[in-house]
Amino acid sequence: MSARRGKPNLLGMTRRGLEEFFVSIGEKPFRASQVLKWIHQFGAADFGAMTNISKALRLRLHELAEIRAPGICAEQRSLDGTRKWLLKLDDGNRVEMVFIPEKERGTLCISSQVGCALDCTFCSTARQGFNRNLEAAEIIGQIWLANKALGRDPRGGRVVSNVVLMGMGEPLLNFDNVVAAMDLMMDDLAYGLSKRRVTISTAGVVPALKRLKRVSEASLAVSLHAPDDALRDELVPLNKKYPIALLLDACREYIAGESKRVVTFEYVMLKDINDSADQARKLARLLGNVPSKVNLIPFNPFPGGRYECSSRDTIGCFASILQERGIVTITRRTRGSDIDAACGQLVGQVRDRTRRNAIVIKEAC
Ligand code: SAH
């Protein structure tokens, strides 16, 4: 966003980035900590509010920089308490984010790209085509906005306790901006979320996953959806480039050396496609040597989609087969479907949807 508007946007800068910014304007690096707290802990959008900074510096910052989040253009509330916001970006594109309240936590599901360059056949975001990566400020800006909209919980804590990068887009194809935003999520001076509470979900961009291991500690979710390459090639075409064996190797590497960590494998339940008892057994064998947990996601239909959701009984049987084989399996409760806020239903508005071919996967890795 900064480049687009000319002034640097401090909202998307990590602590290190802000330190560099302050040094570049002849100020002490410790200013970064002060400004970071103002922006992310107190939600300041205006340098004038930063009362522990001299008036002269506040005025300078006002001239030199900005704090800009996306705008909110619409909000919907589900009967189950789920809230969905449509966000307006500077260039007219729109992305969505969703807040899912639960008893013990509040999860914000955020987007990382405008549309998606992958073409998973069961996902409505895929229909949108791809326009561009979100900037770091547009990614962290979603949390900044949600915290403002949701206020504090009755004990004074933050309502957003968990963040999942499971909205629109493939986060590992927007590597640098996503990593910068996750850095802020986990920085004590910003949102201070633990690594267990920040989850990045990927369809399996293997080289980027290897790189991620070196720069982030976020929890990992992988959209698997099939127990063999033939079916996964169809459902998640990225599999043709990075087949299951390579993907599972990268998953093992990602959590290597940390005894308590697991990878969450997401598996969308598609009637008569990937939901048989045989496929469950195959999946259990496949995951046998990856410390893992499985999240079964009832398929959420969308207009023009070609699949149906598996029945409750079928999902129950599938889950039992995995559980009998020692795999922790959770069936995700569908939330917010009355406002199209459930998994795979986020669409936003993508201007110029034709850029799918323009994203070079190798470049992003
Ligand atoms: N690109 C990333 C994150 C976005 S999708 C990824 O692939 O993981 C977030 C999750 O929702 C993924 O597991 C995805 O497979 C799932 N999903 C997509 N469409 C869905 C649908 N129609 N019903 C249920 N889950 C869906």
CB of 270 closer than 6 A to ligand 1? Answer: no
Q: CA nearest 145: which of 89, 64, 224, 214?
A: 89
CB atoms under 10 Å from CB of 134, counted, come to: 30
What pLDDT digit, counting tens, does each position of 144-191 carry?
Answer: 999 999 987 777 778 999 999 999 999 999 999 999 999 999 999 999
CB of 264 closer than 6 A to ligand 1? Answer: no
Q: pLDDT band for position 334 (50/70/90)?
A: confident
HSE, CB side, 13 Å, CA atoms: give it for residue 77: 5
Based on the residue annotation, tell me whether 170 is a catalytic residue of this protein.
Answer: no
CB of 184 closer than 6 A to ligand 1? Answer: no
From 165, 201, 231, 307, the mutation candidate for ligand 1 (largest count of ligand atoms within 8 A of CB) is 201
Residue 9 reports pLDDT greater than 60: yes
What pLDDT digit, counting tens, does each position of 187-216 carry?
Answer: 999 999 999 999 999 999 999 999 999 999
Over residues 75-79, mean pLDDT = 91
Q: Which residue owns the Cα nearest ligand 1 atom 1? A: 170
Q: What pLDDT, on a 0 to 100 scale, did the predictor assign at position 1? A: 44
Residue 360 reports pLDDT greater than 60: no
- Residue 246 vs residues 80, 139, 148, 226: alpha-carbon distances, Å: 39, 29, 41, 15
Over residues 266-275, mean pLDDT = 98
From 98, 110, 120, the mutation candidate for ligand 1 (largest count of ligand atoms within 8 A of CB) is 120
Q: Are 286 and 244 in contact (CB under 8 A)?
A: yes
Report helix, strand and coil shares of the chain as percent, to nearest 5.
40, 20, 40
What pLDDT digit, counting tens, does each position of 279-315 carry?
Answer: 999 999 999 989 999 999 999 888 888 999 999 999 9
**Which of the 8 DSSP states describes residue 158?**
B
Q: CA nearest 66: which of 132, 2, 9, 23?
A: 9
Q: pLDDT band for position 70 (50/70/90)?
A: very high
Based on the residue annotation, tell me whether 343 is a catalytic residue of this protein.
Answer: yes
* Structural domains of the chain, ranges and CATH numbers in brackets: 10-64 (1.10.150.530), 71-339 (3.20.20.70)
